[in-house]
Chains A and B, each alone.
Chain A
């Protein structure tokens, strides 16, 4: 800010001290200079290598599976090249080409994704790759060019307010619980049931993260001084339902 005021008041552009560009900074600038499709192609290639390629080149897979897998890779690379030429309009074509060609690979090589042939670590790696690919495509791309040249890196900005402390244990704990839910049910033989288990695990993990973040955020809202008894009464319906479920479970156990 000081440098900006000096330059505008005197009319003379002062020589800004050149900040030493670190390796991380240069890497960030290089990554941000490419488009979002190009940034997403890295986790996309990882997801392809973890889930599509093993299915296409598994025993018994035909030429169509291999061709579809190669087509998926070409669609991913075309997203990189097409975004440079036609901008963001080409991104959906690349995305759908990649996803549909991957789906075609899994369809014509069904044994490639059979749950018995996927171990937990392999499955988690594939899930992580596709999640990162979706996140990289959906999130706004890194943009290093929007940074003003008048901003002096050496002067830290003053925060408007301090972030509330104590939220991290809530979110880290909930994320750990949600991640641990993904470790269950990797030995299911039937493909439909294996997918159902994965879907339920994902939904349950999201529910736990949502509940933990809601409780953490409620601590920062303006508190009303209420007796714990009154606060407990606010959740009375759910607590009663929980009691009924506990009684039902007890009856089932007693009946054997």
Chain B
């Protein structure tokens, strides 16, 4: 049974991928500040997704 945090974690991974793509496009267009912003958003999304997905498992 999938819980709300699991679904949210998957959504965050998809959001991270979108942010990474936007960051790459900004990097290719030589807009460095925008690239750093989107890459940072992607990295934080990945971190949040992993923390949320792991929190249901006993370590």
Chain A residues near B (Cβ < 8 Å):
174, 177, 180-181, 184-185, 187-188, 193, 196-197, 200-201, 204, 207-208, 210-212, 214-215, 218-219, 221-224, 226, 228, 230-232, 234-235, 238-239, 241-242, 245-246, 248-249, 252
Contacts and interface: CB of A to CB of B under 8 A. Distances in A.
Contacts of A215: 6, 9-10, 13, 49-50, 53-54
B57 to A, nearest CB: 4
Given A207-B46, A228-B5, A238-B47, A214 B54 contact: yes
Contacts of B45: 242
A228 B21 contact: no
5 contacts: A181-B24, A207-B43, A208-B16, A215-B6, A221-B57
A211 B25 contact: no
A223 B56 contact: yes
B28 A185 contact: yes
B6 A219 contact: yes
Contacts of B4: 228, 232
How many chain B residues sit at the interface, stated as a range, is 35 or more
A183 to B, nearest CB: 9
Contacts of B40: 245
Contacts of B50: 210-211, 214-215
A191 to B, nearest CB: 13
Contacts of A174: 13
A231 B43 CA distance: 20
Contacts of A249: 37, 41
B17 A226 contact: no
Nearest to A188: B28
B51 A235 contact: yes
B56 A193 contact: no
Contacts of A246: 41
Contact of A208 (B20, B23, B37, B54): B20
A88 B48 CA distance: 44
B54 A185 contact: no
Interface in B1-59: 3-6, 8-10, 13-14, 16-17, 20-21, 23-25, 27-28, 30, 37, 39-59
